[in-house]
Amino acid sequence: MIRLLSAELFRLELHARMPFRYGIATMTDVPQIIARLTFELDGVTETGLAADLLPPKWFTKDPTRALGEEIDEMLRVIDAAVTSARTLRAATPFAFWRELYAAQAAWAAKEKLPPLLSNFGTSFVERALIHAVCRRHRATLAGALQSNLLGIELGALHPALAGVAPGDFLPAVPPAEIFARHTVGLSDPITAGDLPAGERVADGLPQTLDEVIRFYGQRHFKIKINGEAARDRDRLERMAAVLTRECRGDFAFSLDGNESFHDVPSFRDYFRGLQGSPSLAPLWPHLLYVEQPWHRQVALSPAIGELARAWPERPPVIIDESDADLASLPAALALGYAGTSHKNCKGVFKSIANAGLLAQRRAAGLPAVLSGEDLGNVGPLSTLQDFAAHAALGVTSVERNGHHYFTGLAQFPRALQEHALRHHADLYVPMADGCPRLNIRDGKLALGSVNAAPFGIPGEVDLSGIAAR
């Protein structure tokens, strides 16, 4: 029997080394929350961790609300999930999560909170529970999924997956390395000419796109657009020139629409306009997919299906912000989408089920994309669990932005920095001042130490240097 015995939350205020503009928000300062939850697992006490940034304007995309109000609301959904979890008893981790998912959904409906936001709270408890179970059994996440240690019953979520176990479609051995897909934010400098002298950061890390490619050897990219055709075209043309020159034509990229299009035909017309630009021709053979171009208010409307039938030559399009609950991906696939994204903040169990649905489509010869996207993964803890989940799911190109917008682990207590260097020498490397940063080499990250640890995080983690919330 599983029950939650105690919960602690820790809060750390982080300041970005350079602004990160995504959608309608620009991140400069943001809190990170770390949860430490202690469970009773069949009579044995074990602790698990979970962590994330609290990124305003992503879960709700409401331009009228104050940032502080949105951060408080994210904390409220975490608190609500922890409160509900204290009352639950279940035989398996999956059963515990299902009960919590239902309780959180009922509470959110009464509070008139959208599921994408409310499930953020559920995911904190879910991740901490998975970590505790993996620690208790000295199991890796991939191993736990192959043996179904977590008691996952996929048919309870989607009838099409009745009788299917995670080990039937997930990789028996998780990938040992992944491409770090570099984020190019809406205001990020492309070359040195875009960077005023007063905005140069003296921390030894690259800032402009061409510097990033030379420093890390990047080959995979995520390019953000905002639907302003002239502005986007200009930036894309300049990026195409840099990628062609610096990567010598060896690159791949995804296009993030940031929910910029509020009516269905507008994205088709916008994209066709970009395709008509001769200077952008070098880009399109390298396009992986387009992520969430339509605002969530129209992204799952019947009009999307009509457009898909009328636009057979469209690029692969996936949902992200619209992947709010268990029904989201089946609805999207029925409308002509190619898949969805995985982010730990949206839930691990849900993504495992999504991976199962996409595996069935792939076996039938249909488009099937499970992408790896980064939200709130500023190390060391959230990044490790994020990598572990992506590897277990078989995702080999994962967006990374935390290491670019924050200077390594410089703002974390020394104990956490030392933990990263001691346990993950393949993933982190010390900078000149000894502070760890992600060790991206030839555009890739080595995941050997992550794959070998219980849900990515080995040993005991000292959180004494972070203030309790």
For residue 282, cis peptide bond before it (omega within 30 degrees of 0): no
Under 8 Å between Cβ of 326 and 295: no
Report pLDDT for 62: 78
pTM above 0.95, yes or no: yes
Torsional sign, CA 447, 442, 434, 469:
negative
Ordered domains of the chain (ranges, CATH): 2-138 (3.30.390.10), 167-456 (3.20.20.120)
pLDDT-based confidence at residue 376 (cuts at 50, 70, 90): low
Q: How far is CA 47 from CA 3, 212, 236, in A?
A: 12, 38, 46
Contacts of residue 363, defined as CB under 8 A and 6 or more positions apart, other chains included, come to: none
Report pLDDT for 247: 97
- pLDDT of 351 strictly over 90: yes
Please count the other Cβ atoms lying within 10 Å of the Cβ belonging to residue 278. 7
pLDDT-based confidence at residue 133 (cuts at 50, 70, 90): very high
Report pLDDT for 438: 97
pLDDT-based confidence at residue 166 (cuts at 50, 70, 90): very high
- Which of 128-137, 368-377, 417-426 shows the lowest per-residue confidence on average (mean pLDDT)? 368-377
Under 8 Å between Cβ of 325 and 354: no
Q: Which of 349, 359, 360, 387 is nearest to 151 (CA)?
A: 349
Q: Residue written as tokens 């039937």? A: 168
